[in-house]
Amino acid sequence: MRWGKRTKGSLPKRRTVLSVMPWAVEAVDDYVTNVRPRYSSCGGAALWPTERGARLQSREIEERFGEYRDALGLGGDLVPHCLRHSHVTHQIEDGADPAFVQRQVGHRFASTTALYTGVSGDFMNTMMRNVLDRALRHGQ
């Protein structure tokens, strides 16, 4: 479960987010099993606490992400939000239903999800080839 964005004047919406990438589930499970217990002094329910038990803030994530990005020599336009765009793109390229992806990321409109999607040229060519093949088979 995770909290979704608020809409004007409402509270955050709690919703289930399914993982379609088994390695992500394994990574979080490993963290919960082997790392999170080391923060047992943190009385809160935060999944990602700081050393002092407070919740990790987005500013801290962005700073650490930036340090790793810079150390790897990657461009400064790469920010944590890019991971959200990548997640949407990978789900679409892996064949997930666009409506499913839209619900998973909490977008109200499909057009917003489409803006997040940056599929490759190879993917678009393969998709169009499949559409044309189906159309030609049905037309015969």
pLDDT for the residue numbered 5: 55
**Contact present, 39 and 47 (Cβ < 8 Å):** no
* Mean pLDDT value of segment 102-121: 88
Question: Could you tell me where the beta strands, DSSP code E, fall in 5-111?
Answer: 14-15
**Contact present, 119 and 98 (Cβ < 8 Å):** no
Helix 81-93 with 98-105: angle, nearest 10 deg:
160
* Residue-wise pLDDT tens digits, 125-138: 888 898 898 898 88
pTM value is 0.66
The backbone torsions φ and ψ at residue 53, rounded to the nearest 5 degrees and listed phi first, read 95, -5
**Mean pLDDT of all residues in the chain?**
84
* Residue-wise pLDDT tens digits, 83-98: 889 889 988 888 889 9
H/E run at residue 2: strand 2-3
Of 2 and 79, which is predicted with more confidence? Answer: 79
